Amino acid sequence: MATKTRWAVIGAGIIGAAVAREILNRHDSADVTLFEKEDHPAAHQTGHNSGVVHAGLYYEPGSLKATLCRRGVSLLTDFAHEHGVAVDECGKVVVATDEVEVDRLHAIHDRALANGVPDIALVDRDGLQEIEPNAEGLAALHSPHTAIIDYPGLTEALVADFRARGGRVRFSTPVKNIVRRGGPTGTDTAIVRTPVDSQEFDHVIVCAGLQSDRLAARSGESRTPTVVPFFGQYFILDADYNDTVNGLIYPVPDPKYPFLGVHVTRRIDGGLMIGPNAFLSFSREGYRGLGFNIPDSLAVAADPGFWRFAAGNMATAARELPGVLSIEKFVAEAARYVPDLAGAGGRRATRGIRAQAMRRDGTLVDDFVIDRAGASIFVRNAPSPGATSALAIAEHLVELAVDG
């Protein structure tokens, strides 16, 4: 009987769950353990995002983001349909409100075409009104296949499928570090150390999200890029506003700012929300209240890259702060392109926290970053569209682990 290849996956967010399942899809001889420090999957970024399945409009053609996003969309939606996970192809418009934004819209259209986004179309004011009667703008880019999905539900389905195929899940088991070990035939292995035991594996794939830089550093790998957490606050509108829009309505990104800006998003439960803003988080995992964590705050304060970023982005802070302090300002921003939302009431949702990788020079890392260290692979940066791309990222990581 053939010896089984031992695999470990660290982190049961959507990417880690997809990776664990993909290993068993591809390798009959694999013995796979999925480690998760929480007592359930999708506890962090996966369970606190907007629920959007991105089509691939904005990403640099040829980048890992662009390639894996387009592949990921089809894999994700096929899996959702097969496993009864809620998904709604509600469509999206990116709305230009002045001539400068119209020019930027054309550039996004060109990039979307280069990325192979299907059925993408530029529309004028009248065309926008046909798609979204309550939206206002000079022009828009229409992506009819952009969707929304239940990401926590999908992650749970991935974990259930992984278990049904013989995979092992260890919840409530944080990983302290991963230690390289040279095998007797020159083949590297890795030791995964937890507070209760240590196990040897032939392959380890680390999908640690908000803790990715710390786990890498504890395992003897580079501390950079570091994770600087930014929170995104969402505002769920009163049910009276649920039918104000048909799909998703986004602003045209301003290249002066590193974050997209407030947009209007349908929820998979039928509700409507606006957001997110983007502001420095004083905790990597503080989703409610002030979210203040002393070690996390000190880590940001000690990061020279953050201070270089802050010095060059005072305008960003000035733009985002009013929406952090005032719901009325937040709503007013969305009402620029959906006037019927002016004065809307509602409630703050649990905030999301983005694991944003940052270089020492203060620049944000835009593309996915994947580092190899012996028998281990570390996912160092998987920002949006990381969730959309999860099943394609899983394919890529498993191929990388075996083929190098």
The CATH number assigned to the domain holding 304 equals 3.30.9
36-86 confidence digits (pLDDT tens): 999 999 999 999 999 999 999 999 999 999 999 999 999 999 999 999 999
Return the CATH number at 378: 3.50.50.60
Residues 267 and 398 in one domain: no
User: Concatenated DSSP letters for 176-225?
Assistant: -EEEEEE-TTS-EEEEEE-SS-EEEESEEEE--GGGHHHHHHHTTS---S
| pLDDT tier for residue 216 given thresholds of 50, 70 and 90 | very high
Note the pLDDT of residue 311: 84
Check whether residue 18 and residue 156 sit in a common domain: yes
| Residue whose C-alpha is closest to residue 372's, from 203, 228, 211, 227 | 203
Q: pLDDT band for 186, please (50, 70, 90 cuts).
A: low
- pLDDT at residue 223 is higher than 70: yes
Same domain, 386 and 329: no
| Per-residue pLDDT tens over the stretch 141-157 | 999 999 999 999 999 99
Q: 175, 37 in Cβ contact below 8 A?
A: yes
Name residue 50's amino acid: S
Residues 95, 249: contact at Cβ < 8 Å? yes
Q: Are 122 and 141 in contact (CB under 8 A)?
A: yes
Q: Are 288 and 326 part of one and the same domain?
A: yes
What's residue 361's pLDDT? 94
The number of angstroms, rounded, from the C-alpha of 327 to the middle of its chain's C-alpha atoms is 24
97 assigned to some structural domain: no
- To the nearest whole percent, how much of the chain has pLDDT over 70? 95
User: Do 41 and 157 have their domain in common?
Assistant: yes
Indicate whether 132 belongs to any domain: no
Residue with tokens 């997110």: 276
> What percentage of the chain's residues is helix, strand, coil (to nearest 5)?
35, 25, 40
Q: Choose among 22, 90, 16, 82: nearest CA to 53.
A: 90
**Would 126 be classed as within a structural domain?**
no
Q: Residue 382 falls within a domain, yes or no? A: yes
Among 110, 102, 103, CA closest to 140? 102
Query: Which pTM was predicted?
Result: 0.94
Give the contacts of 110 (CB within 8 A, at least 6 positions apart): none
Regarding whether 80 and 157 lie in a shared domain, the answer is yes
* Number of residues that this document lists for the chain: 404
Asked if residue 204 and residue 60 are part of one domain, the reply reads yes
Please check whether residues 322 and 383 belong to one and the same domain: no
SS3 assignment for 260-315: CCCEEEECCCCCEEEECCCEECCCCCCCCCCCCCHHHHHHHHCCHHHHHHHHCCHH
Confidence of residue 231 (pLDDT cuts 50, 70, 90): confident
Read off the pLDDT band of 318 (50, 70, 90). low
In order of 15, 178, 202, 211, the CA distances from 398 in angstroms are: 12, 18, 13, 21
Q: In this predicted model, which residue has the larger pLDDT, 121 or 356?
A: 121
Confidence of residue 307 (pLDDT cuts 50, 70, 90): confident
Residue 77 included in any domain: yes
Per the domain annotation, does 268 fall within a domain? yes
Distances (CA, A) of 367 to 55, 81, 158, 162: 16, 29, 25, 28
In a domain, 115, yes or no: no
For residues 324 and 391, state if they share a domain: no
Structural domain that includes position 271:
227-362
Cα separation values, 72 from 55, 168, 387, 388, Å: 9, 25, 9, 6
Burial of 298 per CB tally in 10 Å (0-12, 13-18, 19+): exposed
Same domain, 50 and 176: yes
Q: Do 248 and 353 have their domain in common?
A: yes
| pLDDT for the residue 288 | 80
Higher pLDDT among residues 261 and 175, named by residue: 175
CB-based contact 352:152 (threshold 8 Å) = no
The H or E element that residue 56 is part of is none
Q: 316 falls in which pLDDT band (50, 70, 90)? A: low
Residues 255 and 267 in one domain: yes
Residue 128, pLDDT > 60, answer yes
- How many distinct structural domains can be found in the chain? 2
Domain-located, residue 113: no
Given a cut of 90, whether residue 348 has pLDDT beyond it is no
The pLDDT of residue 182 is 77
